[in-house]
Chains A and B, each alone.
Chain A
Amino acid sequence: MLKCNINGVDLEVPEGTKLIEAFLKAEQKIAHYCWHPGLSVAGVCRLCMCEIEGNPRLQIACNTEVQEGMVASNQSEKVKETVRWGMDFHLINHPLDCPICDQAGECGLQEQYMEYGQYTPSMAHAKVKKRKVVSLGSKVVLDSERCILCSRCVRFTDEVTKTHELGIFNRGDKSEIGTFHDKPLENKYAVNTVDICPVGALTSKEFRFKQRVWYLKDEKTVCPGCSTGCSVKVYHNQEGLFRVKPEYDAEVNEHWMCDEGRGVFDWVNRQNRQSYSVNAENMEKPSSSELKLILTAQQTVEEYESLFEYLKSSNKKVEVYYWKNNPDKFDDFDNLLIRGDKNPNTKGLLETAVKHDITLNPFSGFDGFESFEGDIWFILPENKAVYPLYEQYVEKALKLENNLTIFAVPKVKVDKTKKNISILPLKTYFEKDGHFLNFNGLKRQLKPGPLQVSSALALNEWVSFVKSDDFGDQVDLLSKRKSEGFRKKNEMTQTGGGL
């Protein structure tokens, strides 16, 4: 460990630590555009300037290693003046079109400008015009004028995905990032370049112009897209969910996530949800002593725990069927993050089943069910997009004559005159408490965000209802539960401006 002093704060850092990491560790503000903890050092933005005692010239903190006893600061007038000028150089050709830029509100350049902007530009020449709104494939849009050539995105495609699509072309003030011959940037991690872009040069087609970022809150949770279980942040407000971004997790995804995982939020929005229960009173009737239950690996460990406990204690003859969506691809892995098992909690399900001595029979349609007369519980997967046979099985289930209970996140269209079928709305990963076990057994905790569907419950909560005597009253109460206030689109822009 090396002792050093950063802006008057004494701290110890491991050998090989860059000065900028020491600044961040000491919780000192230091501007940085080109430096990113997950990428190599480029040292091109020249904004992380600091003064090191005994060194006559200012140094960039990102490319200077901490030495024993180093005393560094970025508080002096000299540093501030340098940073102010560095900033001005970045703005020579930057259009400053923040009002129409999607990055506004989470832009490094904008934040820096508030502190170090010259406000009256000292550049006499006209700005160099570059290309705006260049489509780089189906996911990313490039605005060359906003780019400050930090090269983070270029290093990302070189170092992380190793697909090498991006480069810096031309030179001097005509330098531009881009792909060769404007080829689409279609690798499976392309939107990470949008995340690491410190300005609005790369924006996401999916999220562009959907919301101003200051109208969004974020909630840290776990991506349910596959068994990797990346830590993510979900951005939402009262209109629903808008985007997913990766959250640093050293053991799982580091700084990145795949583009597929970024799309795994749409089914949480209420317009795609089963938002009311159907024939809930069925659950109260004395039912058959035989029960067949179909489940997937998309619920939390807590849900399986309470479900299996209930099954064991109910004195019913129970058979549990495990619906695997794509068993032949379960072990696929792209050597970065994406796994073939598109369920977040396969490990959790298997472990909990063993713990409660539950046998999981493979589920392959309702073929053996004709002669069965008992009850059926069908727990539908919440991410139905990764279940190719979803529609087919649901259709078949709805034709069954048994007493059928469907636990569903997605909307299920059912003939309400069919009294044998009841549907109970489930909570999604975004709304419930609990944890997943990822592919190698790492426990990742979900954090309940605001409810999108007021009558939805997690599976363990439904089970506790079933166990209680007053199921009907509970469901009644549930239907009266206040949902989050629905907001009209762009309400803020209509009413929020009232001073």
Chain B
Amino acid sequence: MAFILKDEDKNFVLEELKRYESKYSAIIPSLFRIQKKEGWISAEAVSVLSEVMGLPEAHINEVLQFYTMFNKEPVGKLHVQVCTNVSCAMNGGRELAKKICQKYQVKEGAVSQDGMITVTRVECLGACDKAPMMQVNDKYWEDLTQESAIQILEDLKQKVVG
């Protein structure tokens, strides 16, 4: 599937370029824009971006590969990021991640067969006082139990399908 940068996104990138002293500063907002539309950032997207921005592919790739919040592989409609850093791990974060994987029969980092869910473990998301927690797409869900987490995901799934 070839990647096509829509005109509105292209204009967004061109506008971002004007905002900063250095072109390099516009890389992160541009990557986020693509991720928001596509769910992930493909190598083709980097090539297209490189052309639009007039920056070398390798330099954009350096930024893309450095930050974990950019998805370098396709993700499901619900991207579930379960924190497994100290506080969450002590309160069952790892087990929670395992449970969700089991429930939706998906390996960590992969997309479930229905294309709905991707589970990844992440480091601290800064909500230690509400451990364990997870982030689904842009939203935090805190003070979870295994049951409540599954319930939340089921509800979200319904919303996406419905």
Write out, one digit per residue, whether chain B residues 47-81 have a CB within 8 A of any chain A CB (1) or not (0): 10000000011111110011000000000000000
Tell me the minimal C-beta distance from B80 to chain A in angstroms: 23
Q: How many residue pairs bridge A and B at CB < 8 Å? A: 36
Contact of B62 among A157, A168, A181, A183 (CB under 8 A): A168
What residues of chain B lie closer than 8 Å to A165, measured between beta carbons?
56, 58
Whether a CB of chain B sits under 8 angstroms from the CB of A179 is: yes
Q: Report whether A180 and B66 are in contact in the complex, using a CB–CB cutoff of 8 Å.
A: no
Q: Which residue from chain A places its CB closest to the CB of B55 in the assembled complex?
A: A164
Whether a CB of chain A sits under 8 angstroms from the CB of B28 is: no
Tell me the minimal C-beta distance from B13 to chain A in angstroms: 18
Contact of B43 among A157, A171, A180 (CB under 8 A): A180
Contact of B56 among A164, A168, A169 (CB under 8 A): A164
Q: Report whether B62 and A167 are in contact in the complex, using a CB–CB cutoff of 8 Å.
A: yes
Whether a CB of chain B sits under 8 angstroms from the CB of A166 is: yes
| Contact A169-B59, Cβ < 8 Å, known A180-B43, A181-B43 | no
Dominant SS among interface residues on chain B: helix
Whether a CB of chain B sits under 8 angstroms from the CB of A76 is: no
Q: Which residue from chain B places its CB closest to the CB of A180 in the assembled complex?
A: B57
Write out, one digit per residue, whether chain B residues 36-50 have a CB within 8 A of any chain A CB (1) or not (0): 000000010011000
Dominant SS among interface residues on chain A: mixed
Interface size on A, residues (CB 8 A): 13
Q: Report whether A170 and B43 are in contact in the complex, using a CB–CB cutoff of 8 Å.
A: no
What residues of chain A lie closer than 8 Å to B57, measured between beta carbons?
164, 180-181, 183
Q: Quick one: which of A157-180 are within 8 Å of B by CB?
A: 157, 164-171, 179-180
What residues of chain B lie closer than 8 Å to A169, measured between beta carbons?
61-62, 65-66
Q: Report whether A179 and B66 are in contact in the complex, using a CB–CB cutoff of 8 Å.
A: no
Q: Report whether A164 and B62 are in contact in the complex, using a CB–CB cutoff of 8 Å.
A: no
Contact of B46 among A157, A171, A179, A180 (CB under 8 A): A180
Q: Which residue from chain A places its CB closest to the CB of B58 in the assembled complex?
A: A167
B59, B61, B65, B66 — which one has the most chain A CB atoms within 10 A of its CB?
B65
Tell me the minimal C-beta distance from A158 to chain B in angstroms: 8
What residues of chain B lie closer than 8 Å to A181, measured between beta carbons?
43, 46, 57, 61
What residues of chain B lie closer than 8 Å to A180, measured between beta carbons?
43, 46-47, 56-58, 60-61
What residues of chain A lie closer than 8 Å to B47, measured between beta carbons?
180
Bound complex: CA A180 to CA B59 (Å): 9
Q: Report whether B66 and A171 are in contact in the complex, using a CB–CB cutoff of 8 Å.
A: yes
Contact of A179 among B58, B60, B65 (CB under 8 A): B58
A166, A167, A169 — which one has the most chain B CB atoms within 10 A of its CB?
A167
Tell me the minimal C-beta distance from B109 to chain A in angstroms: 15
What residues of chain A lie closer than 8 Å to B56, measured between beta carbons?
164-165, 167, 180
What residues of chain A lie closer than 8 Å to B61, measured between beta carbons?
167, 169, 180-181
Q: Which residue from chain B places its CB closest to the CB of A154 in the assembled complex?
A: B58
Bound complex: CA A167 to CA B57 (Å): 9
18 A-B pairs in the complex with CB atoms less than 8 angstroms apart: A164-B56, A164-B58, A166-B58, A167-B59, A167-B61, A168-B62, A169-B65, A169-B66, A170-B66, A171-B65, A171-B66, A179-B58, A180-B43, A180-B58, A180-B60, A180-B61, A181-B43, A181-B46
3 nearest A-B pairs in the assembled complex, by CB-CB distance: A164-B56, A167-B58, A169-B65
